[in-house]
């Protein structure tokens, strides 16, 4: 029994000998109360029936207002929580993102047939965009093809070093190149990370890419 029904029950209990006409009280789908018929009662115990009905109508109107406000709030929240295209490529997102926006939005990308939550970070060189872990690999033991490992994708830009470079000598000493040197400014460098032997190990990936888009939505906290 809801609050409105409780009030009606209390009102009728207050008039135990009342005789109500069949259409004495109408309550429409919006909760509006009208009394088109007659209301007769004997040994009425209610002190002020008119005031009671007026108070009841006021309570109904207040409830309707509260429901409308709640509906508006939930609609606005649902709109705010929708994912939208933040940038067409990872590189464009790296050029665009600010410290303020990483507090305002959470980010995601589509990678290896799944939507992955992704996080921006920096260190001393360049910027990274890293997915949360997902299953990688195609083999239980990795003897002939890549072994199953929990891992993910990483994109880097700027002066962060890549897995590619130039051979310095026959000893295969690699002079690693930065993402900016290797890919230029139009693309970013992609690699993987994997959980191996109790460690998180970066691995070579797909090199210079213009992967995207990068999606964003408002964070739950502000």
Q: Encode pLDDT of 102-126 as tens digits.
A: 999 999 999 999 999 999 999 999 9
pLDDT for residue 183 is more than 50: yes
Task: Provide the pLDDT for residue 20.
Answer: 44
Q: Place 166 in a pLDDT band, splitting at 50, 70 and 90.
A: low
Under 8 Å between Cβ of 130 and 153: yes
Closest CA to 89 of 219, 186, 202, 200: 186
Please give the mean pLDDT across all residues of the chain: 80
pTM, entire model: 0.64
Task: Provide the pLDDT for residue 17.
Answer: 42
Task: Provide the pLDDT for residue 5.
Answer: 55
Closest CA to 200 of 149, 164, 127: 149
Distance CA 192, CA 149 (A): 11
Q: Place 152 in a pLDDT band, splitting at 50, 70 and 90.
A: very high
Task: Provide the pLDDT for residue 175.
Answer: 72
Least confident of 26-30, 43-47, 86-90: 43-47
Task: Provide the pLDDT for residue 44.
Answer: 46
Distance CA 114, CA 131 (A): 11
Most confident of 85-99, 129-143, 176-190: 85-99
Task: Provide the pLDDT for residue 54.
Answer: 81
Distance CA 46, CA 211 (A): 74
Helices 3-13 and 49-80 pack at an angle, to 10 degrees, of 170
Task: Provide the pLDDT for residue 22.
Answer: 46
Residue 58 CB partners (closer than 8 Å, separation 6+): none
Task: Provide the pLDDT for residue 43.
Answer: 46
Distance CA 200, CA 177 (A): 22
């Amino acid at each position: 029994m809801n609050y409105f029904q409780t009030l009606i029950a209390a009102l009728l209990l207050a008039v135990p000998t009342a005789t109500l006409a069949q259409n004495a009280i109408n309550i429409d789908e919006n909760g509006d109360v009208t009394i088109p018929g007659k209301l007769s009662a004997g040994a009425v115990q209610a002190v002020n029936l008119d005031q009671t009905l007026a108070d009841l109508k006021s309570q109904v109107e207040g409830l309707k207002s509260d429901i409308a406000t709640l509906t508006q709030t939930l609609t606005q929240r649902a709109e705010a929580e929708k994912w939208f295209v933040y940038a067409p490529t990872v590189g464009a997102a790296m050029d665009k993102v600010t410290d303020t926006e990483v507090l305002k939005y959470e980010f995601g990308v589509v990678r290896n047939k799944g939507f992955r939550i992704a996080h921006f970070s920096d260190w001393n060189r360049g910027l990274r965009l890293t997915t949360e872990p997902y299953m990688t690999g195609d083999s239980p033991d990795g003897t002939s093809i890549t072994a199953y490992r929990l891992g993910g994708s990483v994109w880097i830009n700027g002066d962060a070093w890549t897995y590619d470079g130039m051979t310095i000598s026959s000893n295969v000493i690699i002079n690693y190149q930065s993402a900016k040197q290797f890919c230029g400014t139009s693309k970013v460098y992609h690699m993987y990370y994997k959980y191996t032997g109790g460690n998180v190990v970066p691995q070579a990936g797909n090199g210079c890419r213009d992967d995207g888009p990068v999606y964003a939505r408002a964070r739950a906290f502000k």
